[in-house]
Amino acid sequence: MQKKLHTHIENGKNALCASLQELVRIPTVNPPGNHYAELVGLLDERCRGLGMKTQIVHVPLDEAQKVVPHADSHPRMNLIARWDVGAEKTVHFNAHYDVVPVSGKWSADAFSAKIDGDWLYGRGSDDMKDAIATLLFAIAALQETGVRPVFNIECSFTCDEETGGELGAGEIVRKGLVQADYVVNCEGATGLNVGIGHNGVLWLEVTVHGKAAHASRPDSGINAFEKTAELVTALQPLKERFAASERAFKTPDGIERHPTINIGGVFEGTSGDKVNTVPAQVIFSIDRRIPPNERLREAENELRMAIDEACQSPSDVKADVKSILRIEPCLVNPTEPFVQAFAQAVRTVRRNPVKFTPTSGFTDLHFFVEEGKMPGVGYGPRGEGAHGINERVSISDLVKTAKIYATFMVEANRDGELSS
Ligand SMILES: [Zn+2]
């Protein structure tokens, strides 16, 4: 049965590529959130073509506008599709369909989905329309070879992961639209790695207030730039604190991961800034990464307290602090039977031992694991250059990943993993 399925998938390589090319050619760039309806419409049609029950869930405008003020011109929506085979358990597969904007000089148009050798190029080819095409291809392969999955399959294709996922995966989890026991988030690890979580992140925007004055009389103003320099200098000891061994998180294969802080990724003054003016205001960002041994709330308290203290000494700095992105870290126990069942499918196809790794970047997995309270893994096809130039995905890895998803769907319960 496995052989028949795998041969069927190998023979369908060109169809798999064509299906991914069609997805890449719809530029669902976020921000601002372009062409969402077009892509969701196409996926809805494909899922119905596979006999799945589908539901396009529109995020109500008033709700969407709290997160995305321009949601009236760029509506937010998610697609849920189910293949119910009457099994006891249901596995949810999630992939986001938004892509980051294109920048830099590409060797070909970023949405032409050009194929060269084993690579398919394009924005979203790796992050993560590859996973959408691969997942639907695996489902089709089961149907075309007459093989039933051992669990009910529920898929969601969600928006806005690249901007935090609140209106995408966050929305469907909170509204109770995920009716599953386990989740596979189709990114976050590739090859012989099985993703078991990710770092959290906190983005703060700090506004330092000064007072404008003529540069010939600097004493009559308050220099917001100099105040910012003092504040940033006073925050430096945080780095030492984070580097301490007791703050480290150890991954299952013994790699240490520490909290990190990056200050000033974005910084700006005001439009009134001039050489001969005392600067009145500075805004800068802080990016704090939160390993799975920490909680978001404690990390935020610690950082806000450090900023408060730094404002008081060495000198009086007036600053406002606003959080602009808050994502909880998450970690799944690799000994979970569900995780082991998925790992077994990876081993079967790749014929090598696997490793369990939490990724340093964040994905939507935490919505399902932390808020939806279900065990989950992250796994998708291998590519390169996500968020960069000449983003591409390996076509042979698309095929392998399709085999892994299909094998998992058919064999996950071989040792009774999903019946416990
Ligand atoms: Zn992604």
In this prediction the pTM is 0.92
Q: Answer yes or no: is pLDDT of 313 > 90.
A: no
Question: Is 99:384 a contact under the CB 8 Å cutoff?
Answer: no
Q: Span 120-145, mean pLDDT?
A: 98
361 alpha carbon – ligand 1 mean position (Å): 10
pLDDT at 65: 98
Question: Is 383:391 a contact under the CB 8 Å cutoff?
Answer: yes
Helix (H) / strand (E) containing 339: helix 337-350
Cα 115 from Cα 18, distance rounded (Å): 10
Distances (CA, A) of 221 to 315, 316, 331, 393: 15, 14, 49, 55
Q: Where are the alpha helices (DSSP H) in 145-182?
A: 169-174
For 241, other C-beta atoms within 10 Å of its C-beta total 13
Digit-coded pLDDT (tens) for 53-88: 999 999 999 999 999 999 999 999 999 999 999 999
- Preceding amide of 314 cis, omega within 30: yes
Cα 283 from Cα 45, distance rounded (Å): 46
359 alpha carbon – ligand 1 mean position (Å): 12
Q: Is residue 13 exposed (0-12), middle (13-18) or buried (19+ Cβ within 10 Å)?
A: middle
Helix (H) / strand (E) containing 22: helix 13-24
Cα 111 from Cα 128, distance rounded (Å): 14
As given in the structure block, the two tokens for residue 209 are 């207030």
- pLDDT tier at 354, thresholds 50, 70, 90: very high
Q: What is the mean pLDDT of the chain?
A: 95
Residues linked to residue 328 through DSSP beta bridges, in sequence order: none
214 alpha carbon – ligand 1 mean position (Å): 48
- pLDDT tier at 253, thresholds 50, 70, 90: confident
360 alpha carbon – ligand 1 mean position (Å): 13
314 alpha carbon – ligand 1 mean position (Å): 42
**Tokens 């770092």 sit at which residue?**
199
246 alpha carbon – ligand 1 mean position (Å): 31
Distances (CA, A) of 217 to 220, 227, 256: 6, 17, 51
As given in the structure block, the two tokens for residue 403 are 């085999």
Q: Is residue 27 exposed (0-12), middle (13-18) or buried (19+ Cβ within 10 Å)?
A: middle
Q: Give the distance from CA 230 to its chain's centroid.
A: 35
The pLDDT > 70 percentage for the chain reads 99
384 alpha carbon – ligand 1 mean position (Å): 12
Determine the 3-state secondary structure of 163 from DSSP.
Answer: helix
Residues linked to residue 202 through DSSP beta bridges, in sequence order: 288, 326
176 alpha carbon – ligand 1 mean position (Å): 23
pLDDT at 361: 86
Q: Span 379-384, mean pLDDT?
A: 98
Listed in sequence order, the residues at least 6 apart from 179 whose beta carbon sits closer than 8 Å to its beta carbon are 90, 154
Distances (CA, A) of 140 to 83, 342, 403: 11, 19, 12
In sign, the C-alpha dihedral spanning 348, 353, 356, 362 is: negative
Digit-coded pLDDT (tens) for 25-45: 999 999 999 999 999 999 999
As given in the structure block, the two tokens for residue 244 are 């301490």
DSSP string, 290-312: E-TTS-HHHHHHHHHHHHHHHHH
37 alpha carbon – ligand 1 mean position (Å): 19
149 alpha carbon – ligand 1 mean position (Å): 26
Determine the 3-state secondary structure of 392 from DSSP.
Answer: strand
Domains detected in the chain: 2-198+330-419 (3.40.630.10), 200-327 (3.30.70.360)
Q: Span 171-176, mean pLDDT?
A: 98
Listed in sequence order, the residues at least 6 apart from 110 whose beta carbon sits closer than 8 Å to its beta carbon are 27, 102, 121, 122, 123, 391
**Tokens 């369909």 sit at which residue?**
97
Biggest CA-to-CA distance, the chain:
83
pLDDT at 419: 62
Angle ∠(61,62,67) on CA atoms, nearest 5: 90
Helix (H) / strand (E) containing 405: helix 395-411
